[in-house]
Amino acid sequence: MQDLIAKTAELLIKSKHTVALTGAGMSTESGIPDFRGPNGIWTKNPEAEKQAYQSYFKFQQNPKQYWIERMTGTSWIHELTKAQPNPGHFALAELEKMALLKSVITQNIDNLHQKAGNKRVLDYHGNVSLLRCFSCDTRYDPQEYELEKLLAEDRLPPYCKKCNGVLKSDIVHFHEAIPADVSTESQQEVGTCDVMLICGTSAAVYPFAMLPRIAKQYSSKQKTIIVEINAEPTPLTQEGISDYIIQGKTGTVLPKIVEEVKKRTSENKHRL
């Protein structure tokens, strides 16, 4: 593993545009279960996955009921807001500070990359801490609305201040389109990156799982080197989309890569 860590550190130092794609495996060391790993939410409770597939239809049919359930139900989503970043998140934040990471495109809705300090985060599946207008995609901090009061006075759902459309959680439900702004910016990022780190994802869900394929096929000019950091091989590994996989925990491997980068950059400085 050490040689792959060294190789990845070298790649990052020489890279002009590195992008990190992340999934739920990044947050398991923060106490948030993933979905399809051995202890995943869907692995342990396939019924919960079926329910999740209904959320978007429920919202479209009855936004008021969707909101009442969201505010009165006991869902794992409320637990997310208490979670804290782990060393894997901090390692990616450090790479951005060192100007060696241009952006993070995450499937995670837990806001942990932002809590760890990353400034350029594309929340591909939305963000639990935001609301979004169903019509114009404007996002709001929930604090801008007195949601408890709207519930108590039977005045849900909240409406957009810009276009008066109905608001929903920013979370992208199954069958819901990826918000256009995030989708466009993500495609631009993967189309120009020369190094891509893919951390903690089974790469099972589309269209996110298309992003590494886009990087591989359409990256302009330079060939893109794709490095997976994951507990287990994925379809990206099996199909040769990733150039190599560092099999291990993101909370262990990513800090080791940052350590190696620091070692090499300080050695280079001393040589000058």
Nearer to ligand APR, 192 or 201 (CB): 201
* Active-site residue identified among 17, 89, 113, 125: 125
In whole angstroms, give the CA distance from residue 59 to residue 171: 12
Please check whether residue 107 is in contact with residue 23, taking contact to mean a CB–CB distance below 8 angstroms: yes
What phi and psi values does residue 222 have, to the nearest 5 degrees?
Answer: -80, 150
In the complex, which residue's CB is closest to ligand APR? 25
Q: Which residues bind ligand APR (CB under 6 A)?
A: 23-25, 28-29, 34-37, 40, 107, 125, 200-202, 204-205, 230-232, 234, 249-251
Closest contact distance (angstroms) between CB of 214 and ligand APR is 17
In whole angstroms, give the CA distance from residue 221 to residue 191: 10
Cis preceding-peptide flag for 207 (omega within 30 of 0): yes
Nearer to ligand APR, 42 or 140 (CB): 42
Please give the distance of CA 104 from its chain centroid, rounded to a whole number.
7
In whole angstroms, give the CA distance from residue 271 to residue 267: 6
The beta-strand segments (E) located in the chain are 18-22, 103-106, 121-123, 131-133, 139-140, 167-169, 195-199, 225-230, 244-247
Closest contact distance (angstroms) between CB of 241 and ligand APR is 14
Closest contact distance (angstroms) between CB of 80 and ligand APR is 12
Please give the distance of CA 250 from its chain centroid, rounded to a whole number.
14
Element at 246 (helix H, strand E) = strand 244-247
Closest contact distance (angstroms) between CB of 220 and ligand APR is 27
Nearest to 79 by CA among 50, 47, 55, 111: 111
User: Is 270 considered catalytic here?
Assistant: no
Nearer to ligand APR, 14 or 44 (CB): 44
Closest contact distance (angstroms) between CB of 268 and ligand APR is 30
Nearer to ligand APR, 32 or 156 (CB): 32
Nearer to ligand APR, 15 or 86 (CB): 86
Nearest to 212 by CA among 66, 21, 84: 21
**Which residue's entry shows tokens 């951005």?**
96
In whole angstroms, give the CA distance from residue 121 to residue 146: 27
Q: Which residues are identified as catalytic?
A: 125
